[in-house]
Amino acid sequence: MRKSSIYAVLFALVLVLVACGDSEDTTEDSTTTDEVTDEVWEEIKEEGVITVGTSGTLYPTSYYPEGSDELTGFEVEVQREIANRLGVDVEFEIMAYDAILSAINSGRVDMTSMGLRGERKEQFAYTQPIKYSFATMIVRKDDHSGIEKLEDLEGKLAGGAATTVYSEIAEKFGAEVKTYGNATNDAYLRDVHNGRTDVVINDYYLQSLAIQAFPEFNIEIHPDLKFHTSTTSIVMPKEAEKLREEVDAIVAEMLEDGTLREISEEFFDGQDVTVEPEGDVIEIEGIAK
């Protein structure tokens, strides 16, 4: 974790030596060095630890199995493998989803796994994707919560976390968003089942596994609505270019040797999230990619 300023800029002196004498020989030696050091990377190497921000409540990407105090999940195990290949230890900081990027900017954590879009792509460094997906919605099984198309979200109550693209989509189509903070899946799903909310919009792979854990709930993934393709990458401070290069090379290596696919299949019920989804997916005008 960073303890000092992000930039370390070393300016060399320009030395000009002029020799004048009876001879006409004149020697000028000019040396300039302008090197920017990635202080995030230097400190990680020095301390031998990389700090990762994660929710710890989102199955199957970052969660504690029942009866266990050992954090695991797709993103957690990918980050552990990255740390291992970097030759450093990894420490996880559990925090609300919408606090993680601020924690990266403040130096509290060094990296996370997240999908960046719009202006945020210019504010952080990130690797090639470790996961491809799209959005779906969980609705009540008996009547689809009265939703057959995206426009039917008008007037509905959607469960969601603050500042996510899924809440933005719900609001774009006229739904009111009920926010939960860093809640676990059962809180969201139980409210749809009980009618306290109408819908939860989220990542397809996450939702397809979440509902399997609650077969007694009157909920299902909407059978006809697939929208807003997305990617997840490893995200770091904008100025941590050396760290980004190192981690991106490891991600490419893990894709090549099959490690990412194996971790995906372990946590996503045999599905490979490292390839782009097939089929038609609705893209929503006005929602940043």
- In this prediction, residues 51-55 reach a mean pLDDT of 97
- CA dist 277 and 11 (Å) reads 48
- CA dist 190 and 196 (Å) reads 8
Instruction: Check pLDDT > 90 for residue 256.
Output: yes
State percent of the chain over pLDDT 70: 87
List of domains in the chain = 7-38 (no CATH), 43-125+235-267 (3.40.190.10), 133-228 (3.40.190.10)
Give the model's confidence band at 37: pLDDT under 50 very low, under 70 low, under 90 confident, else very high.
low
Instruction: Check pLDDT > 90 for residue 227.
Output: yes
CB-based contact 159:33 (threshold 8 Å): no
pLDDT at residue 274, rounded to an integer: 96
pTM above 0.75, yes or no: yes
Bridge partners, residue 131, by sequence: 232
pLDDT at residue 27, rounded to an integer: 37
Three-state SS at 152 = helix
CB-based contact 163:288 (threshold 8 Å): no
Ranking 4-8, 61-65, 244-248, 256-260 by mean pLDDT, the lowest is 4-8
114-135: pLDDT as tens digits: 999 888 899 999 999 999 999 9
133-169: pLDDT as tens digits: 999 999 999 999 999 999 999 999 999 887 789 999 9
- In this prediction, residues 264-289 reach a mean pLDDT of 93
pLDDT at residue 23, rounded to an integer: 36
Instruction: Check pLDDT > 70 for residue 11.
Output: no
Instruction: Check pLDDT > 50 for residue 32.
Output: no
Give the model's confidence band at 237: pLDDT under 50 very low, under 70 low, under 90 confident, else very high.
very high
60-88: pLDDT as tens digits: 999 999 999 999 999 999 999 999 999 99
State the average pLDDT for the chain: 88
pLDDT at residue 183, rounded to an integer: 80
